[in-house]
Amino acid sequence: MKRFQKNIKLYIGLVACALATSCAPEIDNAKPNENTGSSKPDFSKYIAIGNSLTAGFADGGLYLEGQQLAFPVLIAEKMKAHGGGEFKSPFFIESQSNGSGYIRLKALVNGQPVTEPVTDKLAVRGLSPNNTPLYTKYTEEVNNLGVPGMRLDMTEIQGLGTVKGNPYFERLLTEQAAMTSYRAFATSKNHTFFSFSLGNNDALGYATNGGVQKPDGTSTLTDINTFSNNLTNFITDLTTNGRKGVIATIPDVSAVPFLTTVTRQALLQAATTASQAQGGPAVTALFIATKAGARPATDKDMFVLPFASSGLLGKPNDQKIPYGLHPNNPIESQYVLDEAEVAEVKTRIDEYNKKILEVAKSRDLAVADIHAFLNKVKNGYVYNGIVISNKYITGNVFSLDGVHLTPMGYAIMANIFIDAINAKYGTQLDKVDAMQYRGVKMP
């Protein structure tokens, strides 16, 4: 008894310690997936091939925060516990962390978002012969090969990496390698595993330019043959010696806020408000230019996001005809993806995806179904207590440019890739906790 009293502090200490630590419950991890028949992939050198989404582009620009939270970076982090090696990205340096520059939310005026460009700490090193910015070079070996603007119809072009080509590709190449095609560049890395997410821009470029094809080739609607050939060539090179990977499908363009936010109804209401303020009548019709001539707009026509702040609607021309409110001064084609163009793009994307699935199946690759995911976002759903939708700003997953994602959006996208890899290869890559990542920043 004396001894007990002597040691009582020790006993109390032990009990307190036990209560504070060991009494917490432990939840076991999920059991490994059943063997899927595929051999386990080797994650020791993972490379990510893709466009702006792969690069971490957001808010209309490529900047350090976006690069650091790009979905391949998040995936690579989870691969580390399963044999994954170091994953390098062509990060902008801290003093140039705003990279290409981007837009941020300046204020909400009557609930209406007002954005402003971020122009400090840029990584612009000069101008190209075309007077477009060139960015600080990053020519060390990298694993994130995402190049904003990269299109599948450009993967074979030699010279795309010159100062006259794509500046994001150009910054990754040494002078000597400037004539390398993107496919040759991406397939020479001795990778062991890859993610492939190209093809969005082959349709999105066209759609976001209102179905108008610019001479620079960035808004061409790629034909299915070119798409198929380039895809097959690329995947063939990536899968030599039985190497594994994951390939993403292409989302429906009508799912992005860039095209869903500005509706005909909203424009009519705005025009009516403006008209009535000057004692005019309500505006009941909008007119748009289409390939078949000018016609009244319907609710099936989609307007691009920048049109909202362009200040064009209702502006009289030299003949005093208000812009967009009369067939003789219709809303220009590059601001509208009209019904026929929407259908055209949809059909083409379905063809692309069919080809992607075919190639994935023939090479036994995992498929990250981003198309299905964006359709889910389009309908809106609740995830861990918050709304995920394609609503501009409040939908949480789309950044201010209405096309690219927020860190939260990229984290959810990373999980789609992870789920696809796990399902195909029977691996157990950990899920990313998407709730640790932000939506749109507000002032």
Residue from 112, 241, 319, 328 binding another protein (CB under 8 A)? 112
Instruction: Kindly state the number of chain residues that form the binding site for another protein, as judged by CB under 8 A.
Output: 53
Question: Could you tell me the sign of the dihedral formed by the alpha carbons of 224, 229, 235, 238, in that order?
Answer: negative
Q: Compute the C-alpha angle 243/185/149, nearest 5°.
A: 105
Q: Should residue 116 be labelled a site residue for another protein when binding is judged by CB under 8 A?
A: no
Q: Give the integer Cα–Cα distance in Å for 53 and 59.
A: 12
Residue number with CB closer to another protein (25 or 129):
25
Q: Which one of the spans 2-10, 103-111, 193-201, 323-331 is the region binding another protein (CB under 8 A)?
A: 103-111
Q: In terms of DSSP bridges, do strands 102-109 and 124-127 run parallel, antiparallel, or are they unpaired?
A: unpaired
Q: Locate tokens 């995830």: which residue?
A: 383
Q: Which one of the spans 132-140, 182-190, 224-232, 265-273 is the region binding another protein (CB under 8 A)?
A: 265-273
How many other β-carbons are positioned within 10 Å of the β-carbon of residue 197? 25
Which distant-in-sequence residues (6+ apart) come within 8 Å of 361 by Cβ? none
Q: Should residue 241 be labelled a site residue for another protein when binding is judged by CB under 8 A?
A: no
Q: Should residue 318 be labelled a site residue for another protein when binding is judged by CB under 8 A?
A: no
Q: Should residue 127 be labelled a site residue for another protein when binding is judged by CB under 8 A?
A: no
Helix (H, G, I), strand (E, B) or coil at 374: helix
Q: Should residue 278 be labelled a site residue for another protein when binding is judged by CB under 8 A?
A: no
Q: Should residue 14 be labelled a site residue for another protein when binding is judged by CB under 8 A?
A: no
Q: Give the integer Cα–Cα distance in Å for 314 and 67.
A: 40
Give the amino acid at 414. A
Residue from 41, 167, 245, 407 binding another protein (CB under 8 A)? 407
Q: Should residue 419 be labelled a site residue for another protein when binding is judged by CB under 8 A?
A: yes
Q: Should residue 292 be labelled a site residue for another protein when binding is judged by CB under 8 A?
A: no
Q: Should residue 331 be labelled a site residue for another protein when binding is judged by CB under 8 A?
A: no
Q: Should residue 19 be labelled a site residue for another protein when binding is judged by CB under 8 A?
A: yes
Residue from 10, 26, 175, 215 binding another protein (CB under 8 A)? 26
Q: Should residue 381 be labelled a site residue for another protein when binding is judged by CB under 8 A?
A: yes
How many other β-carbons are positioned within 10 Å of the β-carbon of residue 391? 16
Q: Give the integer Cα–Cα distance in Å for 299 and 170.
A: 41
Q: Which one of the spans 178-186, 215-223, 318-326, 389-397 is the region binding another protein (CB under 8 A)?
A: 389-397
Q: Should residue 308 be labelled a site residue for another protein when binding is judged by CB under 8 A?
A: yes
- What's the min distance (Å) between Cβ of 399 and another protein? 11
- Write b or e for each residue in 284-314: b if 16 or more Cβ atoms lie within 10 A of its Cβ, otherwise e: eebbbbbeeebeebeeebbbbbebbeeeebb
C-alpha distances in Å from residue 144, one per residue of 61, 64, 86, 92, 158: 17, 13, 11, 13, 21
- What's the min distance (Å) between Cβ of 33 and another protein? 10
From 442, 367, 368, select the one nearest 410 (Cα to Cα): 368
Q: Which tokens sit at 96? A: 């140039």
Residue number with CB closer to another protein (115 or 218):
115
Residue number with CB closer to another protein (225 or 384):
384
Give the amino acid at 277. A
Residue from 3, 9, 111, 141 binding another protein (CB under 8 A)? 111
From 281, 241, 267, select the one nearest 324 (Cα to Cα): 267
Q: Should residue 440 be labelled a site residue for another protein when binding is judged by CB under 8 A?
A: yes
Q: Give the integer Cα–Cα distance in Å for 439 and 435.
A: 9
- What's the min distance (Å) between Cβ of 112 and another protein? 5
Question: Could you tell me the sign of the dihedral formed by the alpha carbons of 321, 324, 327, 332, in that order?
Answer: positive
Q: Should residue 438 be labelled a site residue for another protein when binding is judged by CB under 8 A?
A: yes
Q: Which tokens sit at 25? A: 């419950």
Which distant-in-sequence residues (6+ apart) come within 8 Å of 116 by Cβ? 103, 104, 106
Residue from 261, 333, 399, 427 binding another protein (CB under 8 A)? 261
Q: Which one of the spans 110-118, 156-164, 166-174, 213-221 is the region binding another protein (CB under 8 A)?
A: 110-118
Q: Should residue 309 be labelled a site residue for another protein when binding is judged by CB under 8 A?
A: yes
Residue from 10, 27, 277, 292 binding another protein (CB under 8 A)? 27
Residue number with CB closer to another protein (238 or 411):
411
End-to-end alpha-carbon separation of the chain, Å?
Answer: 67
Residue from 130, 269, 317, 347 binding another protein (CB under 8 A)? 269
Q: Should residue 392 be labelled a site residue for another protein when binding is judged by CB under 8 A?
A: yes
The site for another protein (CB under 8 A) is made up of 19-20, 23-27, 29-30, 105, 107-108, 110-113, 261, 266-267, 269-270, 273, 308-309, 313, 381-387, 391-394, 396, 407, 419, 422, 428, 430-431, 433-436, 438-443
